[in-house]
Amino acid sequence: MQGDIQRVLVVDFGAQYSQLIARRIRECKVYSEIVPYDISMGEIRRRKPRGLILSGGPASVYAKEAPSCNREIFKLGIPVLGICYGMQLMAHLLGGEVARTGKSEYGKTKLTAREDTLLLDGLPRKQNVWMSHRDSVKTPPPGFKATALTETTPIAVMENDQDKLYGVQFHPEVIHTPYGMDILKNFLYNACNCIPSWTMVSIIEKSIEEIKRTVGDDKIICGLSGGVDSAVAAILVHKAVGDNLTCVFVDHGLLRKGEVEQVEETFRKHFRINLIHVKAQERFLNKLKGIVDPESKRLIIGEEFIRTFEELAKKLREVKFLVQGTLYPDVIESGTKDAAKIKTHHNVGGLPLKHDFKLIEPLRELFKDEVRALGEELGLPEEIVWRQPFPGPGLAIRIVGEVTEERLNILREADAVVEEEIKRAGLYRKLWQSFAVLPCVRTVGVMGDERTYSYPIVVRAVISEDAMTADWARLPYEVLERISNRIINEITGVNRVVYDISSKPPSTIEWE
């Protein structure tokens, strides 16, 4: 999808919101990429962006090792928008003055426009914005006008229409700035002259064209996990190459209830894709015998997955290409400076790091929400498209202790109850994750006037945007009551249900 598409580059200065800025641009149907602050001028020219956005960041422009950029970036004739630190850096490099005030301005703030301007065109003269800064611009650079202010920040917006350079001290990308998307659209459409053409249909068309050009008539193999990423990648590639695609589904016996049947139904019967189902439950359980440490579990499962996949791959010698469900966050997860390294080493579902395949990664430019939208456009069932994130090691890391067939059966049934009741309450798509955990301890209970000594089940439900942070979901008491009653009454070996009310941080979403 690299072709001659319109793109806007987000120059990352270490902001916690850089990915969010890129996502918001794409929500405006304009393609965006995140690049490091020290990107070369040659690389910028090579990518031919319609505009640049300088992100925020935690540093002060006066700090000894503050991140900076080449000031020639402002002479490329490309519109530039600086956000928070990005605005301060722009002012600093172009001859303005940034004040180290020591005063903080955080949270909701009232912004007042001094006049009608490009960024604030069509918006109310007064609006709420979200601030998060200490330093601020005291004097704008030559050629700039201060076009909006807040009670404590005289220069909250500055604009240079002649050179198409703009700065905002607040964060238009966060939902707490109600007109933030309108401000971004004004920059993208009016300053950069972008056309909102980054749509699911255009992504599908360009991807199919590129896959056909790359693969030709050669064979392709795809490691299918049943999750949304590999599923969407498989369907997209299948549209391009048809029966030349073979999907491999390694069933390690650690999946949720009904997951195996759903994968079979979706890919073999609904889409009529060549599917090899490797049944390896016994193999994985034997390797996990006596293992309690969670990291050891992960390593064993990953290693065994690799061995299983490699054994099958040797039988498919004519296959030259390997499909991976790599997403854009995977490429930049360790920082944009290491993007190439992440791409080289990133693997999905435990696929071999060393192999003779050529990689096909049709989703590597997409965020998770875009992948879901693409899945809907491709006709994938809602149950797969909107499936909540599920760890690669599966239920093995939701059993706190040794993994046994008995414990897997108990947890699988309990997890199914949680999912059914969450969906019944209409909450499934409002939660990032909701699931059951089985700690390998016993608790005393009373059932039928008799003493029991059985497992507890922990219910976990969180809300989040990207899993970097998460808050525990305030589930209605009646939902929790139904979950508890059903688990205890329907599942032998359980006599207690508890609800996890910890957030991330300090906890994590998963227990192991």
Q: In which element (H, E) is residue 97 found?
A: strand 97-99
Dihedral over alpha carbons 322, 327, 331, 336 (to 10 degrees): 160
CA atoms of 240 and 191, how far apart (whole Å): 37
37 token code pair: 């602050």
H-state helical runs in 258-315: 259-263, 281-288, 294-314
CA atoms of 326 and 205, how far apart (whole Å): 19
CA atoms of 428 and 159, how far apart (whole Å): 44
CA atoms of 90 and 65, how far apart (whole Å): 17
157 token code pair: 């917006």
Residues composing the chain: 512
| Phi, psi angles (nearest 5°) of residue 251 | -90, 105
Neighbouring-strand partners of residue 400: 439
In 3D space, the residue among 352, 375, 380, 377 whose CA is nearest the CA of residue 363 turns out to be 375
Question: How many other CB atoms are there within 10 angstroms of residue 106's CB atom?
Answer: 10
In 3D space, the residue among 242, 255, 216 whose CA is nearest the CA of residue 419 turns out to be 255
Q: Which residues are catalytic?
A: 84, 171, 173
Q: What is the CA radius of gyration of the chain?
A: 26
Q: What is the separation of C-alpha 303 from the centre of its chain, rounded to a whole number of angstroms?
A: 25
Contacts of 366 (CB under 8 A, 6+ apart): 203, 327, 328, 374
- 3-state DSSP of 209-261: HHHHHHHCCCEEEEECCCCHHHHHHHHHHHHHHHHHEEEEEEECCCCCCCHHH
CA atoms of 129 and 134, how far apart (whole Å): 16
Dihedral over alpha carbons 257, 258, 263, 266 (to 10 degrees): -150
Max CA-CA distance within the chain? 84
Tell me which DSSP letter residue 149 carries.
E
